[in-house]
Amino acid sequence: MCCRFLLILRIGPEARYWTSVLPALLAIAFGMAGAVAPLTTAVLASVDARHTGSASGLNSADARAGGLVATALLGGVLGAVGPHLMKQFHAAAIVGALASVGAAAAAFLLVKDTSDPG
């Protein structure tokens, strides 16, 4: 996902929609679609059957909270004009890339394989 967010850095004031904007947004959209299902599976598989409902609720609440924070921060980007808009837009893309790296590192270090080897 990190590299997908960094594709946004190609978008500049003179960028064409079909060659710069759409490919970056599609790459992010497909990447997120491919990440959400395995994440939900990992969350629900990490708890026993009697706590599945709580884990599902927590996963859903975290997703909603993330969406609310992203929407709130979007105002700072879209409130900018001119060259400052591109600077804010690129800063948001870099933050998204860094968050992706952090999430991948957390998953690598914290998610345990619970499959039964035998």
The string of DSSP codes covering 31-65 is HHHHHHHHHHHHHHHTS-GGGHHHHHHHHHHHHHH
**pLDDT per residue as tens digits for the range 7-45:** 888 888 888 999 988 999 999 899 888 888 888 888 888
Percent of the chain with pLDDT over 90: 16
**pLDDT per residue as tens digits for the range 77-91:** 778 888 888 888 888
Mean pLDDT (whole number) for 46-70: 89
Q: Among all chains, which residue has been given the structure tokens 């990190």?
A: 2
d(CA 53, CA 111): 19
Percent of the chain with pLDDT over 70: 95
pLDDT confidence of residue 57: 92
Mean pLDDT (whole number) for 84-113: 86
pLDDT confidence of residue 101: 92
